[in-house]
Amino acid sequence: MSDSAPSTPRVIQVHPEDNVAIVVNDGGLPKGSLLPQGFSLIEAIPQGHKVALQDLAEGEPVRRYNVVIGYASQPLVRGSWVNERVLRMPTPPALDQLPIGTLARQAPPAREVHTFEGYRNADGSVGTRNILAITTTVQCVAGVVAHAVQRIKTELLPRYPNVDDVVGLEHTYGCGVAIDAPDAVIPIRTLRNISLNPNFGGEVMVVSLGCEKLQPERLLPPGSIPIRDEHAGVDTLPGLDTVCLQDAAHVGFMSMIDSILRQAESHLQRLDRRRRETVPASELVVGVQCGGSDAFSGLTANPAVGHATDLLIEAGATVLFSEVTEVRDGIDQLTARAASPEVAQAMVREMDWYDRYLEKGRVDRSANTTPGNKKGGLSNIVEKAMGSIVKSGSYAIDGVLSPGEKVQRKGLIYAATPASDFICGTLQLAAGVNLHVFTTGRGTPYGLAEVPVVKVATRSDLARRWHDLMDIDAGTIATGDASIEEVGRQLFEFMLDVASGRKKTWAEQWKLHNALVLFNPAPVT
């Protein structure tokens, strides 16, 4: 809370059309507290909980995020505590009766021109970092690749100062898996598309074992690597550059390491010749997700990310939001924002696929709000889902990706992924993000080696305690020191600085790199 006026009653109305606001004072507010809106609370209300901003008749819709989160089950006067006991749940939307496109709103073009300094790639994409990635076909080679990466970093990288890093794309897939199962397409295309992430400059090199199920040609079939631009003075399409450890030519461990170093050097030479150039902000491909959430996630950090999303979409950029299980119960809100019936149908297809995936695991998807959620002020699953969906801003949803697919168009994209932080991040890398934004309330040191991860704290006390891990403090929204729009704008500008390499995120500073975790819904053998 703000040091200047620790006891001033404060509530946040997330959307101007809302008829409830959220109490943000530590410890909540006692009965009789006079709100800045000019009326008093008729009862005590805990922190994170809702107060009625107007008299509500029985049956009247209660709106938060400009969405009906329930109906008053009894008359409620202004200043009342609105909680799950006085709210009737809205009927959950059936997947075959969803509104389509009724709320789709196209973004107006940005009033100012925004740019950043990026690395333009032959396929038209733009990198925010200049990284040599070493793709692997199977977990068996991970130790050898890690050894080689260490030697490349110490012996080769100092000679190529324009290259930011060398990353081994380690994973647990590749063998001992049912590689012809229909759902094996997901982990395979995820690995393929990660190796083509814009931050790797189209320099694909592969380390393979030799006998694994996922052969290099299956991972990266001919034609999957974009042809290089001859006019830029670089080679035309090379064959797949693969170091195979079981090759008869390899005698001893050191000969394998020598092969990897020799191959890596030719890629480093090309990457080192690249320079940043000024490109429009429309070349940003930003993945957003949340993790370690708290009652303030949907109140401060996620709405601020939502505003930054709107600014990115106005600038013509691409934003991906994900996390199926977090948005499932607000699916009617997403189909209502679909730019076309096809987009709405694709979203329904992804929800339906995931429903069946969970059923197979005999998981109860009535996965309702937990007692902790309700204690924190989230009355029901609709309200919880909206707290996550709000990261997607307010504009029309232009496209949908299945897990592991690569984004093919600009605009606001729903990229279907599990909510698991590591799996969501891995699938967003495959989708082609060049920047990642992560909100957290409880706190997580999450980071990726492949793209910068900007972390947004929901509360100022987390931002203070984790001052060298959190990049943006959205808690200033709760203290009244900043508006949602101001923090959203601050985040947007920070993204342009990070994308340009002018600033580093804390996760980059400390090299906090979480593992790639593939989503493999297919059987292992």
Q: Which residues of this protein are in contact with Ca ion, per CB under 5 A?
A: 289, 291, 419, 421, 424
Strands, E assignment, 233-300: 241-244, 277-280, 285-290
Whether 301 and 441 have beta carbons less than 8 Å apart is answered as: yes
Distance CA 317, CA 309 (A): 9
Distance CA 66, CA 382 (A): 12
Distances in whole angstroms, Cα of residue 8 to Cα of each of 29, 41, 51, 164, 183: 10, 13, 16, 48, 55
CB of 326 to Ca ion, least distance (A): 7
Q: What's the first-to-final CA gap in the chain, in angstroms?
A: 54
Distances in whole angstroms, Cα of residue 517 to Cα of each of 142, 171, 321, 402, 471: 14, 7, 18, 16, 24
* Closer residue to Ca ion in complex, CB, 291/393: 291
Residue type (1 letter), 504: K
Whether 396 and 410 have beta carbons less than 8 Å apart is answered as: no
Distances in whole angstroms, Cα of residue 356 to Cα of each of 230, 333, 359, 365, 416: 47, 21, 5, 10, 14
Question: Coil, helix or strand for 187?
Answer: helix
